[in-house]
Structures are given as structure tokens and as C-alpha cells.
Amino acid sequence: MRTQDAQVLVLRALADGPLHGYAINAVIEKLTGNRLGAGSLYGALTRLETKQLVEHVAGSGRQRPVRLTATGREMLDRELRSMARMSGSIFETAVPGPVGYLDRVAATDAARAYKKVMADALAARPGQTVLDVGCGPGTDLRAVAEAVSPTGTVIGLDADPEMIETARERTADLPRVKVRQGDVHALDLDDDTVDGARTDRVLQNVTDPVKALAELLRVLRPGGRLVTGEPDWDSLAIDYPDLEVSRSYTRHLTDRIVRNGVIGRQLARLATATGFVVSQVVPVTTVFRDVESADQILGLQRNTERAVAAGYLTTRDAQRWLAHLADEPFLAAVTLYVVVAEAT
């Protein structure tokens, strides 16, 4: 870890009050998942004390707590305000609600493009029973219901009560749509009862993708089709002159924000190992040329701030990064993989 990174982490750890060395490292571990080595920690403390940004609390004993000085707190607050001020007019600062976010994504050209690929691959037919795992607020239930016709059945499954309530409201006029709360790791369905199943950006968030795939294989009839659309967040490329900063932003997103950040590239292998026969893999790459449109999907400022707190970016790098993204021509791209598999 670079010297400046260690100093920023120590300052952030001390933001809520005095701490001794062990406690500082405990806070840093909570923020980043890793502790600083003894040399990095005490080297950072020494440099910060020399700059009069931190000071030891008066007292006795070997483990005297350290606190921010007025200068140190002012500097930390100034840098955070500067970051927010530079980006606030362009980037969203509030986290959107889950239903609103999913509705927003579904309305984009990028989502319409990959959802069409998924619908064509699923090829739901009249009379079939189709399972939509992680149906969210019912985004795709109506389209699937139209494909299976009144003689078929659509089962929407989600773990979130808010999503379930919204999906039920949106499909109340479709008696062939059944919306249930449930867990993809333990589907409340009998073996061999489903003709088709789909997941749309769901397996990136589950605890155990392999167990989820095994459950989907269990409930699908032999020859039944599974269509999954999952992103590979490690493919996220954002144009920026300092390639390492851009890579650090993507690495943080993949490592810390998304549970299964590279599930898109893994799906074909995992599905095959589970017992599916993978017949098709279709990459769908989204290119963003407008920073505000990209921010609505990527949460650029929010995730940059989280990357700073986790030690992936320095405050100075983050400020320059956000300023560049806001002011210069913008380009970003990320790939989602649609994987088509048949149950054996």
C-alpha cells in the first residue's frame, strides 16, 4: 500500500474520536477488509504527527490514544467537501430505492437490448410453465405471460417483500402470473415441474451460485431451458489517463461491491459442472458516452467514495478522477453474458 493511502485510512479511522494503534487497525480492517502492517501503521502515524494532523492524547501507559488535531479534521473535512462539490452537480449522491433503480435500469437502451436476447433465447411458448427467479418489481413478468398465453403459467420469485408486493400489484390483472417470496437456494417447487427459467442479474448477488444452479436444474423438466443474463463487472472499462486509477475503481467494484463480480464469465463453466448442457453464450456489451447516464447505473461518486474508504483510491486520486469524468469526453463499457443451457 502506498504511503498516502495508509495516511488517509488512519485519518478516516480517527474521524469519530481518539483510538490507540490496535483500535485504529480494527477500524481500517472494517473499512477495507485488511489490516495495515505494523510498519505501515506506525509510519503513517509518525508522518501525520509530523504534519500536525494527529496528536497523542495526554495520559500514561504504553498505548496512548491518538486523535485528529483541529488541522487534521479541517483537512479531512475540506477534502471530502471538495470531492462532493466538484461532482455534486453531475453525479447522484443519494442511493436510489431498489424498485426505482431496477425500473431505471430496465428503461435503458442497454437493458432492452440484452432482455430481447434473453427473451428470444428463452422462446417461451403457449401452455408452458416459466420461472422468473429474482423477478424484482415484475419487470419482465408481463412479457413472459404474453408468451405463454392464458394456457400457461408464470412464477415470479423474489426474496424481497417490497419487490413481491410491487410485482403483485403490477400483474394483478394477469391470473396466470403467480408471484411468490422465496430463496433460489431452496426453491419451493417439485422436481421436473418447470419448462423454462430465467435469471436477470440475480446470480451476481446470491450467496452460492452453484447451489442456485443446482436448484434450477432440479425443478426444470428434462430438456427445459435456463437463460441467465449476468454481468462481468471486471470487464468495466472507464476511459481515464491514469490507467491504474481506472483499474482500481473497477477492482473495488468487483472485489467489494458486487458479491459475485465476475459471475458473467463463470456461468457457462458453472452451469456445465452442475449438469446443464450449455448451448449458447452471447456477450452483450453496453457502451456509455454520457457520464450522467452512466452514473445512473454505476453510481460513480458513491462508489468512488467507497473505494477511497476501502483504500483502493487516495482522496487526491478520487478528486481528480471525478473531475475528469465530469468535465472531459466520457466513455465506459461493460459486458453482460447471456448463457443458454438445457436441463438433462
For the stretch 258-317, pLDDT in tens is 999 999 999 999 999 999 999 999 999 999 999 999 998 999 998 999 999 899 999 889
Confidence of residue 31 (pLDDT cuts 50, 70, 90): low
Average pLDDT over residues 31-35: 69
* Beta strands at 220-238 and 194-200: parallel, antiparallel or unpaired: parallel
pLDDT at 211: 98
pLDDT at 40: 87
Backbone angles phi, psi at 267, to 5 degrees: -60, -45
pLDDT at 85 over 60: no
pLDDT at 59: 63
Average pLDDT over residues 6-26: 85
Range in 31-45, 77-91, 171-185 the model is least confident about: 77-91
Confidence of residue 196 (pLDDT cuts 50, 70, 90): very high
| CA 117 vs CA 40, 114, 215, 324, 342: distances in Å | 50, 5, 24, 34, 16
Which cell goes with 137? Answer: 418489481
Side chain identity at residue 103, one-letter code:
D
Range in 31-35, 183-187, 213-217, 330-334 the model is least confident about: 31-35
Side chain identity at residue 113, one-letter code:
A
| Model confidence pLDDT, tens digit, residues 317-332 | 998 899 899 989 999 9
Q: At what angle do helices 209-219 and 263-274 cross, to 10 degrees?
A: 50
Range in 68-77, 79-88, 184-193, 215-224 the model is least confident about: 79-88
pTM metric for this prediction: 0.75
Which cell goes with 246? Answer: 481506472
Q: What is the mean pLDDT of the chain?
A: 91
pLDDT at 33: 65
Q: At what angle do helices 3-13 and 21-32 cross, to 10 degrees?
A: 100
Confidence of residue 197 (pLDDT cuts 50, 70, 90): very high
SS3 for 224?
strand
pLDDT at 38 over 70: yes
Identify each DSSP E strand in 13-83 by its residue range: 54-56, 66-68
| Higher-confidence position of 341 and 85 | 341
pLDDT at 39 over 90: no
